[in-house]
Amino acid sequence: MKIKCEVYRCSRKADTYLYLGAGKRLEELPDGLKSLLGDLTQFLNLELNESSKLAQVKTSEVLTALGDQGYFLQMPPADLLKSQTPGSGYIQ
């Protein structure tokens, strides 16, 4: 199975990306998700299949989500989130 998608960078959440399936429009996303993510900047077009490699997430999870709901939300790795909590020395 091959799925074309666009990848967007989220303005409100660092290291958070939205994969949007071909034919889907940003306007079709749930309102709560749109408000959580803020402005989205498209920066990559991909054609994914089972043998594709992604750096932070399993390709199978992305393909399943794109097939089921038309989008996949990639959040920052858990260890990155922990390092950016108050008191961790992270400067905002």
CATH number at residue 68: 3.10.510.20
* Residue at 87 is within a domain: no
Total structural domains within the chain: 1
What's the chain look like in SS3? CCEEEEEEEECCCCCCEEEEECCCCHHHCCHHHHHHHCCEEEEEEEEECCCCCCCCCCHHHHHHHHHHHCEEEECCCHHHHHHCCCCCCCCC
* Residue at 90 is within a domain: no
Domain with 8, as residue range(s), is 3-82
What does the mean pLDDT of the chain come to?
A: 87
Please, which pLDDT band fits residue 13 given cuts at 50, 70 and 90? confident
Strands 3-10 and 17-21: antiparallel
- Look at residue 68 and tell me whether its pLDDT is greater than 70: yes
- Look at residue 89 and tell me whether its pLDDT is greater than 80: no
- Averaged pLDDT, 12-29: 94
- Look at residue 75 and tell me whether its pLDDT is greater than 80: yes
* Residue at 72 is within a domain: yes
